[in-house]
Every structure is written in structure tokens, then in C-alpha cells.
Amino acid sequence: GSCRHRCCPGRNNACWAPGTRRTPCYCDSYCQRTGDCCQDYLATCRRAAVGCSVGPWGPWSGCSSPCGVGSRARSRQVTVPPRHGGEPCPDLKQRRGCLGQHPTC
């Protein structure tokens, strides 16, 4: 089977071509995990793949609760989005617990 003109990002069961022995082969980026890629997948699809790139983490926010248990959050931005089945973006937000310690508590 051939992936010419058919390269899909992520897992896409509709992204296949007729393969050998009357079984489909796949042209989605998930096929590398499942081992059922078409023979020309790497040459045709992965050459053009661009993985996600992200910027640095921003600062942590203040605690959501001035007194007692709360949470802090931080985020980062996508600088280069994934294309042509490249690696997906990692988490863009993080959250962690905190204990508010305002002087009035």
C-alpha cells in the first residue's frame, strides 16, 4: 500500500490504503505505535512532519485561596503547532496545591 497524497495526524482509522493480503495499511501517525503503517509511510509522511514546540513556562499564579487550601497555575504557549503527523503538543497548563497565608488568616 502507498500513502501518497494521504498523511493524517493522530489516530485516524479512515486514513488507510489497500495493503498486501487484502488487509489495510495505515497512513496516520498512530500507525507507528500499532505497527501497521504502509511501506512508504516514513518516506512519504514523516519527512514532512513537524513536531510541536512550546515556549517556557510562565510564572506561577498567586494562591487561589487567601486562607487555607487553594491552587496555583501556570501555562506556556505553543510556538510551532504540529503538522503532518508530527509529535503532538505536551501539556500547556499545570496546577499545584498551595496554602494561602494572608496576614488576616
Domain ranges within the chain, ordered by starting residue: 1-48, 53-101
Whole-number pLDDT of residue 29: 84
CB atoms within 10 A of CB 7: 21
Cβ neighbours for 91, distance < 8 A, ≥ 6 positions apart: none
Distance CA 81, CA 13 (A): 22
| Model pTM score | 0.54
Among 3.40.50.2000, 2.20.100.10, 3.10.20.90, 1.10.1200.10, name the CATH number for the domain at 53-101.
2.20.100.10
**Tell me, what amino acid is at 91?**
D
Percent of the chain whose predicted confidence (pLDDT) is above 70: 94
> pLDDT (tens digit, 9 = 90+) per residue, 4-39?
878 887 888 899 998 877 889 999 888 988 999 998
